[in-house]
Amino acid sequence: MRPELTKDLPINEFTDFYWLKTELQQFCRENNMSPSGFKMELSKRIEVFLTTGETQQSKTPSKRRSSSKTQAPLTLDTVIGKNHRCSQEIRAFFKEAIHPTFHFSTYIQNCFKENVGKTYRDAVKAWYEEEERKKQPFYQKEIAPQFEYNRFIRDFFNDPKNKGKGRDDAIAAWKHLKLQPGSNQYRS
């Protein structure tokens, strides 16, 4: 059975179990640590605390909200900057340049992060290339490591042994697994 998340929890028990982000944030608040950041960052912060007693603050800089409007008009030659932000204005530009159904998928967000200095024209080309890959029979969208639940559900339905099973079966299997020590990856 999963233990309670307290400051006296042994580190191996912490790392053996699945924790919700809200649980990690609450633990950080109760122990005078920053509750901000990504789930993986919170976990690492708590691991350090449980191991050394040291409290760490967030390394993620606070996002200063600047005007949502860009200075220059957006074009296909607009250069992707280091701190590119996927704003409503940029979404509207890509909806017009690509298709009204355009949305900021994880793939396209990573494209912006990994292609600083390239142009929106390159991003449009990457979007079309990804759309072509999606048509391949064995295409699977990448699910980032922090989305353990989503990965588990996908892998549950990919297992031929679960053919004919439904969403409730997958969720029940997830709920059972996350209470067990060890990996949260789907196992047949």
Per-residue pLDDT 10s for the chain (188 aa) are 789 999 999 999 999 999 999 999 999 999 999 999 889 899 999 999 999 998 877 665 555 444 445 568 999 999 999 888 889 999 999 999 998 989 888 888 889 999 999 999 999 999 999 999 989 988 888 787 778 999 999 999 999 999 999 999 999 999 999 888 988 899 98
CA distances from 85 to 110, 113, 119 (A): 11, 10, 14
Q: Which long-range contacts (CB under 8 A, 24 or more apart) does 34-43 make?
A: 34/58, 36/60, 36/62, 38/146, 39/146, 40/145, 40/146, 43/19
Distance (Å, whole) CA 137 – CA 179: 35
Q: 120 with 74: CB under 8 angstroms? A: yes
Distance (Å, whole) CA 183 – CA 188: 13
